[in-house]
Amino acid sequence: MAYALRATGFTQRMNALGISVHCPTAKPRRYTYASGALSNVWFDRVDLDISAPEDKAGMDDSFAELMSLIEKLENEQGISSSRIYLGGFSMGGGMALATLARETKVLAGIFAIGSFLASDSAVYQSPQQRTMPRILLAHGQSDAVVPYAWGEATARRLYACSQENFGGDKEKGHGEEDRVAFYGFPRLQHTFDERVLSVLARWIETGAQKFPDVAEGCVQEEMTRTSLSSLPGAPSPSSADLPSIATAAAQSASATFPSDEVHMTLEKADARQTQTQEQTEEKGKVAPCKHRAVFRVPQDRVQSFLDRPVSARGAHFSFAHGPTPGTVCTSFESTRPEETAKALLERVKSRVRDPDAPGGIDTCHPS
């Protein structure tokens, strides 16, 4: 996550505002959904489903860790909690939303990307009377892991909770008193890209006082913002009305690429950054190695590549127009010295060709 935020320029954009970005790691715990394997997850799941019971005990445990981090920022760096944003992707976003049911400090805002809350979440069962931070949710409309409908259902229920306690401009739908916004991104799967981070950055840059307007043109590709108050008083969809993961996967199956349409050449691989043993031991990590590769694809497939960021073995890839028509280019860093650029890029080619192919990059898990 830390690499992806740097590679897309998000961290640098925040640093320019005087904002530091921290990426805490969940502690290892037994994960039922992964057959009880020890995994770095924020809480347990018996199933990846919006109707599955919420692991309140696990969330309480992780909540204590997050509050400890916030207190450390307050005490050691003098940062008030009212200037701290808490959020994440997938399960990390769900954990951030779960803090709404707990006695947390006043935060500047909460965001969740590709996330959802369980139907029985404590957040819905006990609406907080204290100040509720502004909440931004973003979701890929082609998400086959966490269906888009789950994210929208979560946003609608959170919006209803905010209206009960804080009112809001229901007639306009996007009034300044609204505390929840939900953005959808066409063709985006269970990941995030520059479009998502641009919306998030604009929101943070305004101090969470204003949700980005779709008409602002703050992203290169289109996005949508759902009017959560479009059906005032309408009941939230039940879990029976929401699509399953299998249904969502079937809906996105048409986005795969035939195996003979992708050709790749490794254009160059820069030398690994030099680093002394003392520096390596001090930093506790290996310096990244930079690579650049060009993919040649049919002309009518170029835009599809540009809309398809992928991740593999700790490296995050996004594509740009290549040097000649019909090509796309990716530049990336990898901190895994045992992986050659060629081998890593072959996995990327397979992943781009067919996002659900078992022979591609290792299967993504909810964690």
Tokens encoding 347: 């996995």
Region of 238 please: left (phi>0), alpha (psi -120 to 50) or beta.
Answer: beta
Domain boundary among 199, 230, 255: 255
> Which pLDDT value is given to residue 350?
63
- Last residue in a domain, options 212, 230, 255: 255
Residue 362 included in any domain = no
Listed residues 210, 235, 255: the one ending a domain: 255
pLDDT at 361: 36
Q: Is residue 230 domain-shared with residue 287, that is, in the same domain?
A: no
Same domain? 30 vs 164: yes
- pLDDT of res. 332: 65
**Do 45 and 158 lie in a common domain?**
yes
Does 179 share its domain with 304? no
- Phi then psi for 152, rounded to 5 degrees? -65, -40
Please list the ranges in the chain whose pLDDT falls under 50: 167-174, 231-234, 249-250, 252-260, 268-283, 337-338, 357-367
Query: Half-sphere exposure (CA, 13 Å, Cβ side) for 189?
Result: 25
Residues 282 and 215 in one domain: no
* CA dist., res. 138 & res. 225, Å (int): 9
* CATH code, domain carrying 85: 3.40.50.1820
Same structural domain for residues 53 and 191? Answer: yes
pLDDT value for 341: 64
Ramachandran assignment for 78, one of left (phi > 0), alpha (psi -120 to 50 degrees), beta (any other): left
Residues 177 and 292 reside in one and the same domain: no
Number of folded domains that form the chain:
2
Interior CA angle at 260 toward 258 and 265, to 5°? Answer: 120
SS (H, E, C) the chain: CHHHHHHCCHHHHHHHCCCCCCCCCCCEEEEHHHCCEEEECCCCCCCCCCCCCCCHHHHHHHHHHHHHHHHHHHHHHCCCHHHCEEEEECHHHHHHHHHHHCCCCCCCEEEEECCCCCCCCHHHHCCCCCCCCEEEEEEECCCCCCCHHHHHHHHHHHHHHHHHHHCCCCCCCCCCCCCEEEEEECCCCCCCCHHHHHHHHHHHHCCCCCCCCHHHCCCCCCCEEECCCCCCCCCCCCHHHCCCHHHHHHHCHHHCCCHHHCEEEEEEECCCCCCCHHHHHHHCCCCCEEEEEEEECCHHHHHHHHCCCEEECCEEECCEECCCCCEEEEEEEECCCCCCHHHHHHHHHHHHHCCCCCCCCCCCCCC
Both 177 and 304 in one domain: the answer is no
Strand partners, 185: 140
Measured CA to CA in angstroms, residue 66 lies from 9, 84, 225, 232, 356 at distances of 25, 12, 29, 34, 33
Enumerate the active-site residues. 90, 143, 190
Co-location of 270 and 240 in the same domain: no
- Shared domain for 53 and 202, answered yes or no, is yes
Say if residue 94 is in the same domain as residue 186.
Answer: yes
Predicted local distance difference test score (pLDDT) of residue 171 = 43
Does residue 193 lie in a domain region? yes
pLDDT tens-place string over residues 6-19: 888 899 999 999 99
Residue 133 counted as domain residue: yes
| Short-list 171, 98, 89, CA closest to 137 | 89
- What's residue 294's pLDDT? 72
State which residues form the domain around 348: 259-353
Inter-residue contact 351 to 360 (CB < 8 Å)? yes
What are the pLDDT digits (tens) for 220-242? 557 888 888 754 444 556 666 67
Q: Name the pTM for this structure.
A: 0.67
Question: pLDDT at position 278, please?
Answer: 44
pLDDT at 317: 63
**361 in a domain, yes or no?**
no
Domain presence at residue 149: yes
157 and 171 assigned to the same domain: yes
pLDDT (0 to 100) of residue 234: 46
pLDDT value of position 126: 63
Question: Residue 343: CB partners within 8 Å, gap ≥ 6?
Answer: none
